[in-house]
């Protein structure tokens, strides 16, 4: 307990403190909410607000300035507007939106403002960065030259990804888009790549499933989950990909490597359209505002491989887009295809025929990744794509029957085996050495005499088999080593041995 001070002494000290205090008038512009609906607040009385500025409402809500008019501005609310009402006061914080970045985020589930959605501690004590940041300039970039291995044979062998590349995953509803991206994230448990999964407008159950899968099969302690669910305010959903990019860029700029999956940009475009219509921007094609291309271009441009002077870090982006009835020429898919460095197209038709992942080899392309493919994999995957494409054409013709040319029959047999190899269950990621072994054996015709149905078991048993019988190859190729002719022959031989083991009576010599 402190002694009660006599009043005179208290007055003296207070006066002395007042004398020391420097007082100056400070003007603060205060606006008023004049209209409030659908997550948008129209505000008057704030003439000097910049586009994208963060506004604070007297109720503690936040929003950002989206459309500026002469007398009013429209702010997109970042919280549910429950207690906010027309007439409420608004001030400009003078800041743009910032989100926390750094190692503290690893393993966490956060909303697009960086607020935890798991039961971990708050994250605002560390460093923060703006959600909108300029993309690295051409001079700051280096060529994409190292691979990002997804562990999915169809991707790594045919449409290899490079660190710093932007590759679109596009397909109809429920064709395995999310699964493919999640497999790519899970495979990074064997690499130094940090992953950011951004959910935009997804159902909570779907997001929970993704997080659970990565927790079970991957390295969640090196992943960040940014979740703007379908039930979140549209402003938050809109922000999610930008937040994810900022969080991933932090690692890129430190010279590390990051991979961002944005699931998905079609929903993001729809949210952008919704906000634009509510803020009375003129609608253009398919009612999207004219800047939707710029929106996604400026977002995806931030994925890059940095030059050695800047630390050589990389940020690879795997945006996802949904098509309707396979229509790749709709507005948003074409935009995204032209922004990215390639696309992996998933087809409903192949999915229905049991091909998983349902990659359409004819429509998919990777424009830069081939150069980044590991030399060993490049050495054995050269012919696969051509053989497979020819097979698909031949298969169409032979459906009508009557073709008995032995060369054609051989090509078809080979193609069926390629298809069986490219069919891969979820969470069954293959390491580089297994992919090389399978494709070497394919090239040497080892599978031609095997029944197609035996290949899935062969693939399942290959990893422990190689660990036991070829640990030197596992180490050598795991470190990006060359595939010498001896090594190739040995791997092929090992696959033949395994095939004999599976089918002892098999005539494959």
Annotated binding-site positions = 171-178
DSSP symbols for 321-366 = EE-STT-TTSHHHHHHHHHSSEEEEE-HHHHHTT-SS-B-TTT-EE
Report if residue 323 touches Mg ion, rule: CB under 5 A. no
Pick the binder of ligand ATP from 178, 340, 355, 366 (CB under 6 A): 178
Q: Applying CB under 6 A, which part among 225-233, 418-426, 448-456, 473-481 lies near ligand ATP?
A: 418-426
Rounded least distance, CB 427 to ligand ATP, Å: 9
| Contact assessment for residue 292 and residue 281, using Cβ atoms and an 8 Å cutoff | no
In this structure, what DSSP letter does residue 279 have?
Answer: T
Catalytic residue selected from 56, 209, 367, 490? 367
Report if residue 217 touches ligand ATP, rule: CB under 6 A. no
Using DSSP bridges, classify how beta strands 147-148 and 314-322 pair: parallel, antiparallel or unpaired.
unpaired
Report if residue 323 touches ligand ATP, rule: CB under 6 A. no
| Contact assessment for residue 483 and residue 375, using Cβ atoms and an 8 Å cutoff | yes
Report if residue 175 touches ligand ATP, rule: CB under 6 A. yes
Please indicate whether residue 252 is annotated as part of the active site. Answer: no
Q: Which residues pair with 170 in a beta bridge?
A: 321, 345
For 52, 129, 416, the CA distances from 94, given in Å and listed in that order, are: 10, 15, 62
Nearer to ligand ATP, 108 or 459 (CB): 459
Nearer to Mg ion, 178 or 266 (CB): 178
d(CA 329, CA 167): 17
Nearer to ligand ATP, 13 or 204 (CB): 204
Nearer to ligand ATP, 173 or 254 (CB): 173
Q: Applying CB under 5 A, which part among 160-168, 173-181, 182-190, 346-354 lies near Mg ion?
A: 173-181
Rounded least distance, CB 376 to ligand ATP, Å: 24
Q: Which does 176 bind (CB under 5 to 8 A by kind): ligand ATP, Mg ion, none?
A: ligand ATP
d(CA 39, CA 31): 18
Q: By C-alpha distance, which of 373, 435, 483, 303 is closest to 147? A: 373
Report if residue 357 touches ligand ATP, rule: CB under 6 A. yes
Site residue total, Mg ion (CB under 5 A): 1
Report if residue 178 touches Mg ion, rule: CB under 5 A. yes
d(CA 254, CA 310): 8
d(CA 346, CA 170): 6
Report if residue 371 touches ligand ATP, rule: CB under 6 A. no
| Contact assessment for residue 265 and residue 200, using Cβ atoms and an 8 Å cutoff | yes
Q: Give, to the nearest 10 degrees, the angle between helix 455-469 and helix 485-502.
A: 120
Report if residue 173 touches ligand ATP, rule: CB under 6 A. yes
Q: Which does 173 bind (CB under 5 to 8 A by kind): Mg ion, ligand ATP, none?
A: ligand ATP
Rounded least distance, CB 419 to ligand ATP, Å: 14
Binding site as annotated, residues for ATP: 171-178
Q: Which residues pair with 75 in a beta bridge?
A: 41, 65
In the complex, which residues of this chain contact ligand ATP (CB under 6 A)?
Answer: 171, 173-179, 322, 356-357, 424-426
Residue numbers at the binding site for Mg ion (CB under 5 A): 178
Instruction: State the catalytic residues.
Output: 367
């Amino acid at each position: 307990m402190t002694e009660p001070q006599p009043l005179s002494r208290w007055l003296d000290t207070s006066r002395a403190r007042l004398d020391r205090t420097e007082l100056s008038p400070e003007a603060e512009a205060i606006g008023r909410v004049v209209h409030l609906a659908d997550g948008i607040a129209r505000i008057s009385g704030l003439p000097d607000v910049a586009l994208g500025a963060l506004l604070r409402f007297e109720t503690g809500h936040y929003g950002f300035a989206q459309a500026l008019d002469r007398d009013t501005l429209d702010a997109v609310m970042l919280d549910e507007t429950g207690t906010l009402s027309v007439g409420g006061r608004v001030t400009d914080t003078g800041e743009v939106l910032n989100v926390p970045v750094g190692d503290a985020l690893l393993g966490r589930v956060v909303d697009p403002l960086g607020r935890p959605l798991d039961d971990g501690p708050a994250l605002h004590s560390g460093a923060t960065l703006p959600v909108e940041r300029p993309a690295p300039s051409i001079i700051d970039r280096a060529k994409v030259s190292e691979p990002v291995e997804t562990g999915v044979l169809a991707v790594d062998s045919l449409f290899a990804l490079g660190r710093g590349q932007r590759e679109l995953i596009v397909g109809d509803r429920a064709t395995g888009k999310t699964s493919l991206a999640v497999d790519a994230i899970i495979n990074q448990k064997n690499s130094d790549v940090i992953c950011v999964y951004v959910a935009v407008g997804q159902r909570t159950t779907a997001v929970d499933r993704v997080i659970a899968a990565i927790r079970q099969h991957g390295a969640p302690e090196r992943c960040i989950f940014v979740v703007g669910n379908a039930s979140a305010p549209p402003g938050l959903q809109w922000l999610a990909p930008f937040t994810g990019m900022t969080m991933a860029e932090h690692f890129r700029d430190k010279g590390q490597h990051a991979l961002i999956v944005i699931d998905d940009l079609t929903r993001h475009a729809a949210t952008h359209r919704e906000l634009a219509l509510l803020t009375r921007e003129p609608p253009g094609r398919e009612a999207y505002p004219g800047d939707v291309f710029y929106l996604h271009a400026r977002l995806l441009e931030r994925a890059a491989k940095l030059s050695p002077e800047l630390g050589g870090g990389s940020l690879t982006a795997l945006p996802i887009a949904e098509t309707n009835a396979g229509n790749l020429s709709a507005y948003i898919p074409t935009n995204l295809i032209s922004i990215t460095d390639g696309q992996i197209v998933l087809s409903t038709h192949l999915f229905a025929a049991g091909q998983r992942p349902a990659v359409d080899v004819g429509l998919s392309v990777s424009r830069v990744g081939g150069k980044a493919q590991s030399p060993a994999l490049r050495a054995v995957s050269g012919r696969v794509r051509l053989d497979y494409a020819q097979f698909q054409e031949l298969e169409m013709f032979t459906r009508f029957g009557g073709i008995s040319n032995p060369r054609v029959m051989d090509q078809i047999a080979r193609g069926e085996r390629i298809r069986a190899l490219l069919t891969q269950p979820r969470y069954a990621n293959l390491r580089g050495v297994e992919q090389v072994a399978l494709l070497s054996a394919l090239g040497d015709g080892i599978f031609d005499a095997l029944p197609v149905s035996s290949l899935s078991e062969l693939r399942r048993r290959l990893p422990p088999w190689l660990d036991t019988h070829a640990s030197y190859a596992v180490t050598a190729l795991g470190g990006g080593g060359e595939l010498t002719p001896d090594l190739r022959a040995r791997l092929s031989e090992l696959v033949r041995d395994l095939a004999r083991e599976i089918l002892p009576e098999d005539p494959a010599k």
